[in-house]
Structure 1
Amino acid sequence: MITSRIRPALAVVAFAIAVLAGYSFEPEEKVWEISGPVFGTRYNINLVLAEDRARLDELAAGIGGVLKDVDMAMSTWREDSELSRFNRTEDQSQWFEISRPLYEVLSAAREISELSGGAFDVTVGPVVNLWGFGPEARPEQVPGDNALAAVLENVGYETLELRDDPPAVRAESRQYVDLSAIAKGYGVDAVAEYLQKEGVNAFLVEIGGEVWATGRKPGNQPWRLAIEEPVAEQRQVNRIVVLADMGMATSGDYRNYYESRGQRFSHTIDPLSGKPISHNLASVSVIAENCMMADGLATAFNVMGYEKAMALATRENMAAYFIVRGELGFESRHTPAFSSYIVD
């Protein structure tokens, strides 16, 4: 069950991409925050509305319903979700009917997989589980080469086939699909679409660091957001951006990891090698026309590493911001398309 909390947004919320302070309220409007747990993380939604508790309660309930629907479609942590039921299907060569939202996410995932040359792959779930970053418990030891090779034999986004009408999926060989690198972004988009249909003209939606912003705060102030310095022990701003009618997502290796025998293992797995990433790219943020694509692209770029990701993002005119570990500390670089979002 998804429960929400409503309160005036009077303080900065600490998350990977944080809304900065500085609200300027006009008498008829305030910024209200609706928040709660979801997808193993939290959602924080800021709405610009006149005070109306009944209306806020109605919106909070609607948001909860939207997020519940996404969870029931795409969660690998729920045994009764659509995705979990497909993952448990013995004969996946037969068409498995799915909801339109799940079809849309699988379609977007395939587009990102093809664009990135397989750096993004939703069938990498068994490898993620093997390394201890999925619903299963963390392994007692680091997986060996033989174990990795055995699991990688069945990994490959190309094995999934989609049907548009009616929406369905099937696989050449049995697959375990994991949408954790793109489903939060879709959840952000779904909430944003719901709020727009409800006539809310200014809001910011954040789920686990993935965001969408629309309109402006009272006083005609833009939504200013911070990209964090990729340091696990503290929260420090690296760059401020302004966002309007766009989604932004960040992927990095500095929050979710574990150490074994003095070596750190990131939760981001390279589908091609089956191993956690180990390059010098610490964090990448992507701005796109929807948060689902921003979410998936950020993960793909994080897997690819700075040089390949920068080349691809520049070629495709994508807005991407990279924080790289250099000899003297962090170095920030971005594509030309990202420049217009930066606040000097």
Structure 2
Amino acid sequence: MINASIKWLALIGLAFFISSCTKPEPALLKVQGQTMGTYYQVTYVLSSEQTSNKQLLSNELKELIDLQLELVNDQMSTYRPNSELSLFNKSNSSLEVSDATVKVVSKALEIYQQSGGAFDVTVGPLVNLWGFGPDKKPNKIPDAELIEQTKQGVGSQYLSIEGNKLIKAKPDLYVDLSSIAKGYGVDAIAEFMEAKGINNYLVDIGGELRASGTKLNQQPWTLAIERPGNGQNVQRLLHIGNSAIATSGDYRNYFEADGIRYSHTIDPKTGRPINHKLVSVTVIDESSMVADGLATAITVLGPKDGLEFATKLKQPVFLLTKQGDGFIESFTPEFEQYLVEEK
């Protein structure tokens, strides 16, 4: 009886020894929430050593990510009356702002110049006029005189930067960074993850993404270009490596009046919604902010001019253009390397 008990205790000790020597396994974790009027989701991999760091686990990391995103909103949201951007829009001439806001406005002005004015962050009054902005109005078509009158207050040529000061040449100039700030938010979270020593992640804010490293078992992050239409149809699968990707499209946010479809994307030159058949633009870049802004610029330019613009920049860009009941694909040579061959 005593001998049996000794054997039993020996087995218990052996089991404890084995379990205590077992190494922690790498873990795939996910953090998600709401920001900038949409969702965000951060998927990331912790190494076996990192799993013992409680600060890197989902609940703790979410609090820190939320703080980062709140800061971006406090800087660049047009929906928050006391954000830096809102205070600048209320000012008559200038306002001192953060390095982050200067960075985004500076890039917006650069893309404005590159695109010949197709990307214009001062187009907000026209967006509002058509009922797609913070000042939402009934779905109706503005008259031509009102459109021309509103256009007089629009133009990034009236916006400049000196140090950390944003300056407007027209007192009523209104800046809306919604076409580029979401991408900046993705970059900010990606840089935050890397500062925490997390190098395998996928950051997604409302469909603007940035990837780094791999999933578990060294599997690449696989992304999809959506085919416009009903349901979640996939047009193409992608492996983007350590890059960012942004998609702009007019197939979700629009209204119809008298049988005509009006897109939420406004052409600054005409003051009216775009009316070409380019329905989706996907851009890959090192920066989600850059990809976000370029996707909007190319959407405004349209299928022909947009592709020529992307080709000139040697930018990886994929376009979907409506033709009859289907779509035509076109892309720059730089984009082809990211396409996944379907089996």
| Length-normalised TM-score, structure 2 | 0.89
Superposed, which structure 2 residues align to 1:93-242 within 5 Å? 95-139=94-138, 141-164=140-163, 167-174=164-171, 175-231=173-229, 233-242=230-239
1:136 deviates by 1.0
1:30 deviates by 2.5
- Once the two structures are overlaid, the 10-residue window that deviates more, 295-304 or 260-269, is 260-269
Report the equivalent of 1:39.
Answer: 36
Distance in 2 separating the partners of 1:27 and 1:221 = 20
Q: Which consecutive unaligned segments of at least 5 residues does structure 2 have?
A: 1-22
1:260 deviates by 1.9
Distance in 1 separating the partners of 2:139 and 2:243 = 42
Alpha-carbon displacement from aligned partner over 1:146-184 (angstroms, at most 9, x marks no partner) = 1101100010001001013xx111111021100010000
The aligned amino acid for 1:225 is L
Superposed, which structure 2 residues align to 1:255-334 within 5 Å? 255-327=252-324, 329-334=326-331
Could you tell me whether the CA contact under 8 Å between 1:130 and 1:139 is conserved in 2? no
Would you say how many aligned residue pairs link Structure 1 and Structure 2? 313
1:244 deviates by 1.8
Report the equivalent of 1:14.
Answer: none
Of residues 323, 338, 341 in structure 2, which corresponds to 1:341?
Answer: 338
- Once the two structures are overlaid, the 10-residue window that deviates more, 239-248 or 285-294, is 239-248
Could you tell me whether the CA contact under 8 Å between 2:139 and 2:255 is conserved in 1? no
Distance in 2 separating the partners of 1:262 and 1:214 = 45
- Secondary structure, counterpart of 1:148 in structure 2: helix
Q: Which has the higher contact order (CA 8 A, sep 6+)?
A: 1
1:298 deviates by 0.1
Of residues 66, 79, 82 in structure 1, which corresponds to 2:81?
Answer: 79
Report the equivalent of 1:59.
Answer: 61
The aligned amino acid for 1:72 is D
The aligned amino acid for 2:121 is V
Distance in 2 separating the partners of 1:299 and 1:155 = 17
1:245 deviates by 1.7
- Runs (4+) off by over 4 Å: 50-54
1:234 deviates by 1.5
Change (3 A) 1:55 1:328: closer
Change (3 A) 1:213 1:153: same
Distance in 2 separating the partners of 1:202 and 1:237 = 25
Report the equivalent of 1:6.
Answer: none
Could you tell me whether the CA contact under 8 Å between 1:39 and 1:75 is conserved in 2? yes
Distance in 2 separating the partners of 1:37 and 1:209 = 13
Report the equivalent of 1:7.
Answer: none
Could you tell me whether the CA contact under 8 Å between 2:254 and 2:263 is conserved in 1? yes
Could you tell me whether the CA contact under 8 Å between 2:125 and 2:150 is conserved in 1? yes
1:58 deviates by 2.5
Greater helix share, structure number? 2
Distance in 2 separating the partners of 1:215 and 1:55 = 17
Distance in 2 separating the partners of 1:45 and 1:323 = 27
- Once the two structures are overlaid, the 10-residue window that deviates more, 253-262 or 124-133, is 253-262
Distance in 1 separating the partners of 2:325 and 2:339 = 23
Distance in 1 separating the partners of 2:149 and 2:190 = 41
1:27 deviates by 7.0
Q: Which consecutive unaligned segments of at least 5 residues does structure 1 have?
A: 1-25
1:328 deviates by 5.2
Distance in 1 separating the partners of 2:120 and 2:281 = 18
Structure exhibiting the larger radius of gyration computed from Cα positions: 2
